Amino acid sequence: MTAVQGYNPRTGEAFGSPVPSTSDAELDLIVAKAVASGWSATTSADRAEALERVADALDAESELLVSTADSETALGLPRLTGELKRTTNQLRLFASVLREGSYLEATLDTADANTVPPRPELRRILRPIGVVGVFAASNFPFAFSVAGGDTASALAAGSPVIVKSHPSHPTTSVETARIVASALPEGVFGIVHGLEAGPALVKHPSVKAVGFTGSTGGGRALFDLASGRPDPIPFYGELGSVNPTVILPGAATAETAAGFAGSLTLGVGQFCTNPGLTFAPASMVEALTAAVGASSGGPMLNERMQQGYQSGVDSLAASDLVELAATGSDPAQGYSVAPKLFTTELKTFAANLGTLTEEHFGPAGVVVTYTDPEELLEVLPQLPGSLTATVHASSSEHALAGRIGSALQAVAGRLIFNAWPTGVAVAWGMQHGGPWPATTNALFTSVGSTAIRRWLVPVSYQSWPEDLLPPELQAGNPLGIPRRFDGVLGTK
């Protein structure tokens, strides 16, 4: 097996020592330790303390982690410092979720012989699904990677985690994994490396669910593997998203144009919430062109991404479906690229919707011009699924904005008003998911407190003795968590 080598995107030079790929025998051993760890039998309180230990340990070595990640990703020290803090705060959030207790959906129904049919005593709770495989993302080496949201939520649920590292930042992954593993009991957390380790992890019979953040092609291939197993397992993939934005005439200002360019080029456009498709009045093209033309590019995460972006925008520019309206500056170093803005008319877009809604991962955007915003109401519901959809409107356009939002809610998991989609808050109310191809399952979120629900399965105890029930279901509610008792939500 070949080793995984990291590179500095600013120079294209190798960084760090090669990381050996994981063999099938090594994977078997890692999975066996996860199964034997007993993590699913630990209490919520113990898991909360463990998550906080992991967060503290990561914070304690932040300087090493951030400097290493910057050398492998070129994302910059300020961005990475903030991302690592988001990651540790995310771990602490799930500790609070565990202590609050409603994530268990504890439900108690007393026996009732007078119902039809008669009802026995039933007590229902969510339990850990088992060992979870997590695929680290390239564009967020901390928050969506080794110690990211999938890992944090799965550990919180009581599921041991095995991470498949991303080849864009192998040294960062090794260092992060070392810190996470040191703060947890043996076997609860493991990591594997190398191209072959990914499919092997998905197909391993002791792995019971998988979380993935990455490309549509790679995610679909792994999704098919998970579904094609002798015992199919859940695969929660976050894939491609063009994140449509509608700018109504009253919001077509220079300020809005500047905000668009900032969001489009943030992190060299390497955000899953990058606003890649925008509908705007024809009169706004000049302002959008000026804003993007004044922007700067930078190095992408790896050579493959750089080549994929360049190939995609070159093909788009060569087509007769769009016009190249603006090109930002390119520092011309390492794996750098320049921002691109293309324009097309609504009629052309509607006739070529499949082609013009393809994601070009990076700082590229397509602006679809319209003359009457009412015409958008027929086109918007036909868009492919996205993580987000945004509406910019003036105060006098709220009625129209509401109808635009209604048209968009079927194609996106998060609706944004007069703001930009880049940036995903870690909170109870966040939904980070959407219809295909944004995700493989639009019912769940990969960010926020309810992300834990992906790694939990229900079980009902019928007429079981009190002393054999989990504490969360025992009479008197000894843990004081929210429960539904005979249909009434409270703490009874």
**Catalytic residue numbers?**
238, 272
Nearest in space to 437 (alpha carbons), one of 383, 390, 389: 383
Residue 462: partners with Cβ closer than 8 Å, 6 or more residues away: 120, 121, 122
Rounded to 5 degrees, φ, ψ at 322 are -140, 165
Place of tokens 């967020």: 140
- Tell me how long the chain is: 492
Residue 344: strand, helix, or coil: strand
Radius of gyration of the chain (CA): 24
Structure tokens at 189: 């957390």
Q: In what order do the strands lie in the sheet with 488-490?
A: 456-462, 122-128, 107-109, 483-485, 488-490
Rounded Cα distance, 239 and 284, in Å: 31
d(CA 12, CA 159): 38
Q: Which two tokens stand for residue 82?
A: 């903030």
Q: Are 405 and 318 in contact (CB under 8 A)?
A: no
Of 229, 217, 302, 228, the C-alpha closest to 268 is 302
Angle at CA of residue 8, ends 4 and 14, nearest 5°: 50
Tell me if residue 341 falls in helix, strand or coil. Answer: strand
Q: With contact defined as beta carbons under 8 Å apart, do 193 and 218 qualify? A: no
Which amino acid, one-letter code, is at 30? I
